[in-house]
Structure 1
Amino acid sequence: MMKGIGKRYGSQSLIRLSRRSVLGGLAGLAAAPLTGRALGSLASGASVISTPPRTWDAADTPVNLPDPDVLALDPSFGLVNYGNSPLRKLWQGTGWLEGPAWCTVGRFLLLSDTITSQQYRYDPEDGPQGHVSLYRRESFNANGNTFDAEGRLITCEHGMRRVIRWEHDGSVTVLADRYRGKTLNSPNDVVVVPDGGIWFTDPAYGDGVVEGHADVDGPANPQRHLNPYLDAELTSQYGGLRRQEDHVFRVDGKTGKIEAMLSQHDVAGPNGLCFSPDGTKLYVVSSAPAPGSQPPLPDHAIHVFDMKQGRPTNGRLFTDFTLAGRAMRPDGIRADVEGNLWCGAWGPLGLCGVFVYNPHGQMIGRIRLPVGCSNLTFGGPKRNVLYMCCGTALFSLITATQGAGHS
C-alpha cells in the first residue's frame, strides 16, 4: 500500500513521494554499508545477504532449519514461531501485489495487483508450490480486500475511489464512494469487525494514472498535464476528481452510514489498519509527512488508539518503526490471536521484510526477505500460514499462531 502522497494544509506544503522515488531511495539505503554490530548480526548464517545469495527458487537447496531469515529477538517469539518451517517464495511475475485475503469457503488466497488492475487467486493445494490464476480481469486498480462474516468479498478500488461488496448473486453493492458530497481519495486497506462495521483507510495513493484515477489538478497533477478523462468507464462514473483530506472511515453494517473516525491530523496518510483480537485497540500505519513538521518529515510509524464506545480515542505512538538505527517504512499490518502485530516493512536489504511486535510495542522477531513487504495476512485452513505480498512476489511462512478473526 505504498504509493505517492502529497497535500497542502494552509501554508504548509507536504513533500510528494511516488512509489518509484520511495523505492529508489530505499535502494540507495540498501547500497549504503552497514557497520558494527548491526552488520555482524545481519550477516550471520545463510540469509538474504549471504554469499552466494539465497536464490529463493522452488528447486533451491533446502534451507537449514530453523530458517536463518526468521529471527527471534525475544524468547516470547518462540510461542508464535514454528522453527521447522522455512520461508517459501510461492510466485513471481506480476505488477504490484496488495490486499491478500483468505477465503475460508473457497480455501484460496485472493490478491490484488494495483498496477495491472487485476485480481488473482492463489490455490495452495494445487501442486507443490500452489497455483496462481486470474480471478478478476478488471478490478479498477483494487487494493485492500477482506471477507465478511457471510463470506462476501469487500474490496477497496483505487480507480473507482470506492469500497464495494460482492454479493452472493454476483451483484455489487457500493458501501462507500463519497463523504460530505466529495468523492473519496483511493480506499486502501479494509477490515470488518464483529458488529458488522467496515473500517477502511482513505489516503491518496491512487490519485495518479498508474494505480488509480488521476485528479483533474492538485498535488498529483499540478500542471494539469494528465488527462483524467481518457478512461471512459471511470469518468462516466465520476468525471473529474479532486482529492480531499485523508481519513479513516467506518461504514455501519446495518444502516450503511459512513463516518470519519480519524482525520489526517490524527494519522498522517493512513495506510494499513487492524484491531487487537479483543477489539479494544485500533492500530493504524502512518505513511505521510507528519502534519506541522517543518521541514516536512515522514511520519513512518504505527499509531494505536483505545476503542471507547465504538470510537478510537487516546491516540499515541505504538512504534517509530526503526531498526539498527534506520528509519524503516511500515505498510500492511495484521494481528495474531496473542495480540502480536505482524507488519510489512520497507527499507535496506537485510532489514526489510516483516517486523513482529508484542502488544507493548516491543519487537520480538522479524523476517528477512529479499524485498520489502507491502501487505500480509494469515490464511490456510488453520489460519496459521503467513502470506506476504512483496512487490511482484508472494512469500509464505507456516507459523505456530493464528491470525485474529477480525484483524
Structure 2
Amino acid sequence: MNELEILDPRFRAYVLPNAPLVKLGEGFAWLEGPVWFADLNCLLVSDLPNDRIMRWTEDGGLSIFRKPSGFANGHTRDRQGRLIGCSHRHRCITRTELDGSITVLADHYDGKRLNSPNDIVCRSDGTIWFSDPHYGINTDYEGGKQTAELPSALYRLDPSDGGLRVMADDFVGPNGLAFSPNERLLYVAESGPQFAADPERHIRVFDVLDDGERLAGGRVFHTVTPGFADGFRVDQDGNVWSSAGDGVHCIAADGTKLGRIKVPFTVSNLTFGGRNRSRLFICASHTLFAIYTNQRGAQQP
C-alpha cells in the first residue's frame, strides 16, 4: 500500500489507496522530460547527465531510445504526434520527424543563441511554448559550460513560419510549464538562481489572451515546499500535479494543496499516461516510478 497524505477531502477521489507506487527502473543520473506516446504505448524520458533518452514499455521494460541526445531535457508532442524536445548542449528546440530525422526548429533569438531550453508544451493551435533558463550552460553536468547570450525568458514558437517571440522575460529561472485544460491559463515554474543559498521559488500563473498571442498577469499561484516545483502536469479538472522534495503534490486550481503522493526521492518531473491517461509516471532523481490514480491527465496531442 502506497503512502498518501490527504490534506483536502477533494484529494480522496483522485487517488487509489490500493494502487502501489511501482519502481520501473533505477540507476539513472537525473531523470527529466517524460512524455507519453499513447499510440506506441511507451514512455520516453531524459536521463539528462548521461546524455540519453530512455524508452519504457510495459512488456519490454527500459531501453535506450537515443544516445547521444544533445543533453535532452523537456519533451512534448505536437499536433501531428511528433516528438518535440529541448537540447541543452545544442541550445535549441528540435522536432523528430516521422521518418526519424531531426529538424532544428529554433536555436537563435534576435541574432543570439538561446540559453538551454528546459521544458516545453504545445498549444492546440500548433504553437510551441518553452522556457529558456541558464541552467544547462551553467555546469558541465547537464550540457556543458557555455556563455549566455540572452536573459532567461519564456518563448512562443510558431512552426508554420518559424516566428519566435518572447512572451515573458521577468524570470530568473523559468522551468516547467503547462496549460490549463481550456488553455486560458499558463502555469510556469520560477526556480530561481541555480546556486543561490535561498532562491525565490514558486509556480506562477498567467492569463492567456488574444487566442494565445499575449500573456497577462503572472501572479504567484502556489509555493511548493519542501523542495520546489520543477516540472508538473495538469489533470482534466484543472488540478496541478507538481514535483516536490518529498513526492508529488496535487494543487487545486484555487491554489490549495489537496494532498501528496509520497516518493522516497526528490521528484523532478512527471506526466500522465498509460490506460486512459490515469497512470502517473514520476521522475524521482535516479529512479523512475509509476502509480495508478483515479484521475486523468488533461488531453494531450
Q: TM-score range by the shorter chain?
A: over 0.9
The code of the aligned residue for 1:303 comes to R
Return the match for 2:88 from 158, 163, 167: 158
- Cα deviation, 1:29-67, whole Å, max 9, x if unaligned, reads xxxxxxxxxxxxxxxxxxxxxxxxxxxxxxxxxx3xxx3
Q: Aligned residue for 1:341?
A: 240
1:89 match: 23
Letter in 1 for 2:153: H
Q: Work out the number of aligned pairs and report it.
A: 297
- The answer to whether structure 1 residue 380 and structure 2 residue 274 are counterparts is yes
CA contact (8 A) 2:105 2:159 kept: no
State the secondary structure of the residue aligned to 1:405: coil
Alignment match, 1:400: 294
The answer to whether structure 1 residue 210 and structure 2 residue 113 are counterparts is no
Separation in structure 1 between the aligned mates of residue 52 and residue 115 of structure 2, nearest angstrom: 20
- Tell whether the 8 Å contact from 2:240 to 2:252 is kept in structure 1 after alignment: yes
- Asked if the contact 2:186/2:205 (under 8 Å) is kept, the reply is yes
Q: Which has the larger radius of gyration?
A: 1
Q: Which residue of 1 aligns with 2:56?
A: 122
Structure 1 residue 321 displacement after superposition:
2.0
Of 227, 243, 249, the match for 2:155 = 249
User: Which whole-Å CA distance do the structure 2 matches of 1:289 and 1:141 have between them?
Assistant: 20
Bigger CA drift: 71-80 or 331-340?
Answer: 71-80
Q: How does 1:305-384 map to 2 (within 5 A)?
A: 305-309=206-210, 310=212, 311-322=214-225, 328-346=227-245, 352-384=246-278
TM-score of the two chains, using structure 1 as the length reference: 0.70
Q: Which letter does structure 2 place at the counterpart of 1:318?
A: F
Structure 1 residue 243: Cα displacement: 3.7
Quote the sequence identity (%). Answer: 42
CA distance in 2, matches of 1:242, 1:198: 22
The equivalent position to 1:99 in structure 2, one of 23, 33, 42, is: 33
Residue 71 of structure 1 corresponds to 5
Aligned residue type for 1:332: G
Alignment of structure 1 residues 13-162 onto 2, 5 Å? 63=1, 67=2, 69-126=3-60, 131-162=61-92
The Cα offsets for residues 165-199 of structure 1, whole Å up to 9 and x where unpaired, read as 01112222211101111101100000111000100
Hey, what's the Cα distance between the residues in 2 that align with 1:166 and 1:287? Answer: 28
**8 A contact 1:303–1:315 mirrored in 2:** yes
Greater per-residue strand proportion: 2
Question: How far off its partner does 1:115 sit?
Answer: 0.6
Counterpart contact for 2:33–2:269, Cα < 8 Å: yes
Compute the RMSD of aligned alpha carbons: 1.7
Q: Using the TM superposition, give the Cα deviation of residue 82 of structure 1 relative to its aligned residue in structure 2, in angstroms.
A: 2.2
Shift of 1:401: 1.1
TM-score (norm 2): 0.94
1:189-237 Cα deviation digits (max 9, x unpaired)? 001110001000001111122211321xxxxxxxxxxxxxxxxxxxxxx
Contact 1:275 1:406 in 2 (8 A): no
Query: Which of 165, 173, 177 pairs up with 2:103?
Result: 173
Cα displacement (A) at 1:296: 8.2
User: Deviating runs (4+, > 6 A) in structure 1?
Assistant: none
Aligned with 1:331: secondary structure? coil
Q: 2:202 aligns with which of 298, 301, 314?
A: 301
| Contact preservation (8 Å) 2:134, 2:148 | no
Listed one character per residue, the Cα deviations across residues 319-370 of structure 1 (whole Å, up to 9, x for unaligned) are 1223xxxx53111010000100000012xxxxx1111100000000101111
Give yes or no for contact 1:191–1:406 (8 Å, CA) kept in 2: no
Q: Determine if contact 2:249/2:259 at 8 Å carries over to the other structure.
A: yes
Paired residue secondary structure (1:191):
strand
Q: For the Cα contact (< 8 Å) 2:243–2:249, is it kept in 1?
A: yes
1:88-128 CA distance string (max 9 Å, x none): 121101111110000122110001111110111011234xx
Letter in 2 for 1:304: V
